[in-house]
Copies of this chain bind each other. A is one copy, B any other.
Amino acid sequence: MEQLITSRDNKYVKLAKSLCTKQGRDKEGMFIIEGYRNVRDASCKGAKIEFLLVSDKCSYDLTALKKHKMYNLAPKIFDYVSDTVTPQGIMAICRMEEINFSDIELENDSLIVVCENLQDPGNAGTIIRSADAAGAKAVIMAKGCVDVYNPKVTRSIMSSLFSVKVIQGKNIDSVFGFLKSNKIKSVAGALTDKSVPLFDADMKGSCAVFIGNEGNGLTAETVKRCDTTVTIPMLGGAESLNASTAAAVMMYEFVRQNETYKKG
């Protein structure tokens, strides 16, 4: 550990602070992971960690993280950079990896998750975590979605950002192009004339599950272009499920139908 950093003008502090905006993240090609468990898991899963910033008040045992460059910050400088209300005193500055459609390793029963205009950082994080749990090969956050490197997203993703492939910045046309050329069935979650109850839909074989905006759902054009439209039955007074909840219910119906949980 080097000497205590007490100034906002320190170059590491300035770099980290710049990563709090999308513009800064895109310029540097880096983002922040915050909190002890998140940093430890990111390190285990091979995240490209450039360096760690640690508050002088941090009480965690950092032995497992010794292999990374570590800079020691005065608590008030750490709080200045931190995005959280009660910081745990540790954050990692990580390099982004650019992931493309060609990086997706497809099998005959691959699950892909596609989000369109998803805005809530918590939902995005939860969807990526659920997609990882359900064994999805990729999560595609099409143009118009919240930035997955937003600190509010990385916080709720846990370490799934490093175990499931997350692709962003693609327009919806290129997403459909990728799906069609790989014969992946597209399944929209939406209520239309042609919708069938989720449990009556055929999700056998590779599927892309489409999730839309929290308030407005998927765009009409996207629903029209999907092969199948499903609704999750609403049996009480609720009009809808939370977007990330709906996504998980759809993903696990894929898992059930394909019995991917019985593999290996």
Contacts and interface: CB of A to CB of B under 8 A. Distances in A.
Interface string A127-143: 00111111110000000
A256 interface: yes
A133 B163 contact: no
A149 B134 CA distance: 33
A242 B162 contact: no
Question: Range of interface residues on chain A?
Answer: 35 or more
Copies of this protein, total: 2
Contacts of A186: none
A255 interface: yes
Contact of A236 (B163, B233, B236): B163
20 contacts: A130-B242, A132-B236, A133-B232, A133-B233, A133-B234, A133-B235, A133-B236, A133-B240, A158-B238, A160-B236, A160-B237, A163-B237, A163-B238, A164-B237, A197-B261, A199-B256, A233-B261, A241-B248, A245-B245, A248-B249
A78 interface: no
A213 interface: no
A82 interface: no
Dominant secondary structure at the A interface? helix
Contact of A133 (B241, B260, B261): B241
A260 B160 CA distance: 34
A159 B248 CA distance: 22
A2 to B, nearest CB: 33
Contacts of A136: 236
Interface string A202-237: 000000000000000000000000000000111111
A130 B245 CA distance: 8
A160 B245 CA distance: 15
A180 interface: no
Tell me which of A129, A236, A248 has the highest count of chain B C-beta atoms within 10 A of its own C-beta: A236
A130 B241 contact: yes
Most buried by B among A135, A156, A198, A235: A235
A126 interface: yes
A244 interface: yes
A252 interface: yes
A45 interface: yes
| Residue of A130, A156, A253 with highest tally of chain B CB at under 10 A | A130
Contacts of A45: 237
B129 A242 contact: yes
A45 to B, nearest CB: 7
A252 B238 CA distance: 14
